[in-house]
Amino acid sequence: MSVPLLEARGVSKRFGGVRALQGVSLEVYENTIVGLIGPNGAGKSTFFNVLTGLYVAEEGTVRFAGRPLSVGQPHQVAAAGLVRTFQNIRLFPQMSVLENIMVGFHVRTRAGLWGAWLRPSAVRQEEHAILTGAQELLDWVGLAGQGGRVASTLSYGDQRRLEIARALATRPRLLALDEPVAGMNGVERQRMAQLLQRIREQGIALLVIEHDVRWIAGLCDRITVLDYGQCLAQGTPAEIQRDPRVIEAYLGTAIEERHG
């Protein structure tokens, strides 16, 4: 087997008396979609926060693309190609849709203040390339014709798409999405699943948090189930759905109903 793109080993994180993560391990290989499911409070978002350098874990290691990730350095993690979205949408609400995507491209560009002063023509070229790239991404995620709108006026589902477009603009190798279909109806969920599959076809791996077992099972190659900060089960969607521990824990109830 090849080396995983992302490899987390034995990650533990506590908040005072709350053991949010206890020895969680997870791998994501290139060209795969991995699901992370579990009830509210299971530790899913905390795990993302550790992966992306926002929180420092007490124990465990995280390697990305064969190297240890810079702990506590979110910008370096993003620059290495691990880019995430947040459970609560974080756009620049008063900026236009197109400008929000352009911000993602600027993360990648070299022209800083000095470049702008010394080489204005090169900067203009770069700006033009960013504008073109942002417009292409806009169409690609299904927001064609919406570029001039103020971001906050988009529907909830479209704001999620815009967040993903902005993340894609940074050219990630792994896109980590925290509940990308929360609050969406069945049709929107289907459309989002199609978008995520198209992203994978571009050679980008995905790690996706969601409560809905059926939706995630239809999308992912592998699933990890977290419960009270621990790995309850890991496997293919079929294995997860017939895993005795998962069945015992969730029999007769949807996962999200158990803990409310």
In the complex, the smallest distance separating the C-beta of residue 109 from ligand ADP, rounded to whole angstroms, is 32
Among residues 227, 180, 217, the alpha carbon closest in space to that of 199 is found at 180
Q: Shortest approach of ligand ADP to residue 123 CB, angstroms?
A: 39
- CA dist 51 and 74 (Å) reads 9
Which residue, among 180, 91, 103, has the nearest Cα to 134 in the 3D structure?
103
- For the bound state, the minimum distance from the C-beta of residue 160 to ligand ADP, rounded and expressed in Å, comes to 17
User: Which has the closest alpha carbon to 174: 4, 72, 30?
Assistant: 30
**Residue 43 in contact with ligand ADP, rule: CB under 6 A:** yes
Instruction: Note whether 46 binds Mg ion by CB under 5 A.
Output: no
What distance in Å separates the CA atoms of residue 20 and residue 8, rounded to the nearest whole number?
A: 15
- Out of 6, 26, 45, 206, the residue judged to bind Mg ion by CB under 5 A: 45
Cα–Cα distance, 212 to 219 (Å, whole number): 11
Determine the residue type at 55: Y
Picked from ligand ADP, Mg ion, none, the partner binding residue 40 (CB below 5 to 8 A depending on kind) is: ligand ADP
Binding status of residue 53 toward ligand ADP by CB under 6 A: no
Q: Give which of Mg ion, ligand ADP, none residue 135 binds (C-beta under 5 to 8 Å, depending on kind).
A: none
Minimum distance, C-beta of residue 242 to ligand ADP, in the bound complex (Å): 23
The residues that touch Mg ion, with contacts defined as CB under 5 A, are 44-45, 87
